[in-house]
Amino acid sequence: MSDALIIVTEEKPVGALVAAAKGLGGMVTAVVVGPRALADAAAAAGPAAVKWIEPRPGVPVEAYARPVARLAAAAAPRAVVTSATAEGRVLAGAAAAELGAALIPGGLTLSAVGDKTVVVRTDLGGRVIESVEAAGPMVTFYAGDDIAVQGSAGVPIEPVAADGAADIRIERTEPAAGADAGITKASVVVSVGRGLKKKDDLTIIEGLANALGAEIGCSMPVADDLGWVEKDRYVGRSGQHIAPRLYIAIGIQGAPQHLEGIRNAKVVVGINNDPAAPIFKSANYGILGDLYEVVPALQAALGK
């Protein structure tokens, strides 16, 4: 039997972390760093044991990387799985070093093949799926969808003293600029990229947005280089991460940087005159054509 460890720093993918870890066929131990409610959620997700570190007030999760690494060393698991969050990654990095493990980001599933551990992962910004085999211990950041947890009685939670926390403190937390921008909560977002030729042409985008009751977003260059749209409306990895019901990308090529921001959009429509634009690979629907013709036509079609 093989043993796996999951490191839990937030509630969202805990069901999927347990499921991925169970792919190895052995016992799953959860190490939780966070409030009691998070430990309870992890316990209900089906691991065999839960070890819980409660951060002191004003101390970020990352300060507990050493204690987590010690727990990992004591468990000596074949694999460690965590979510690809800032906190989860730091804790898992410390565990990987302590275990002398390989670290392969982007994990989707884990399996044991003989005495080897195989992770199937997404790579190159989602362009390929790769199987990677490790002879020794392996750490991965889970990159798949969450799996709903089946209601279960849960296992006992073992609190762990967090000796050896690093000297890190949270000085203040305040709403980020743009946190109140309608775009983060909008159910429909119409977003514009470099396909737009001049700032004045934003009026046609605004016309479509009004017809849809949508908020306007943009790609990074439109906000940053050109300054045509407020920076807090730029969608992408380092900008806004949004989850609208409908996202219409107009004149946006679809760089990985941008796609990162719309990963949770339900339906994506790309409007582009380049048939090879990567946006068409990530979209549910596309219209191939000149945005200056397509956008007014789309606005007209909505009125019918």
Partner 1 sequence: MKTVIVYKWARDSEDAAVRSDGAVDWRNAKMTAGEDDFAALEAAKALSRDGDLIGLTIGSGDASWALARGVGQATLIIDAPSLIDNASTAAILAAAVRTIGGVDVVVIGDSEDYSGVPVALAGLLGWPAIVQVSAVSAVDGRVQIVRKQGRNEQTISISAPAVIAVSAASPEKNIPGMKEQLAARKRPITKLTLAEIGVSAADNVSSQGTRLPETTPARIFEGDPAAACGKLVAALRDEGIL
How near is the Cβ of 47 to partner 1 at its closest, in Å?
Answer: 23
How near is the Cβ of 109 to partner 1 at its closest, in Å?
Answer: 13
Strands 138-142 and 79-83: parallel
Minimum CB distance to partner 1 smaller for 18 or for 139: 139
Cβ 139 vs Cβ 99: under 8 Å: yes
Quick one: DSSP state of residue 239?
S
Q: Please, what sign has the CA dihedral across residues 203, 209, 215, 216?
A: negative
How near is the Cβ of 99 to partner 1 at its closest, in Å?
Answer: 9
d(CA 178, CA 185): 11
What lies within 8 Å, CB to CB, of 131 at 6+ separation is 118, 119, 120, 121
Cβ 21 vs Cβ 91: under 8 Å: no
Minimum CB distance to partner 1 smaller for 192 or for 269: 269
Minimum CB distance to partner 1 smaller for 76 or for 177: 177
How near is the Cβ of 126 to partner 1 at its closest, in Å?
Answer: 6
Minimum CB distance to partner 1 smaller for 93 or for 154: 93
d(CA 75, CA 81): 13
Name the residue with tokens 């959860």: 30
Strands 157-159 and 49-53: parallel
Name the residue with tokens 């392969």: 104
What lies within 8 Å, CB to CB, of 262 at 6+ separation is 235, 242, 247, 249, 268, 282
Minimum CB distance to partner 1 smaller for 24 or for 65: 65
- In 3D space, the residue among 136, 134, 119, 132 whose CA is nearest the CA of residue 82 turns out to be 119
How near is the Cβ of 72 to partner 1 at its closest, in Å?
Answer: 10
Minimum CB distance to partner 1 smaller for 23 or for 239: 239
Give the distance from CA 22 to its chain's centroid.
21
Name the residue with tokens 């990985």: 256
How near is the Cβ of 46 to partner 1 at its closest, in Å?
Answer: 26
How near is the Cβ of 68 to partner 1 at its closest, in Å?
Answer: 10
Minimum CB distance to partner 1 smaller for 133 or for 157: 133
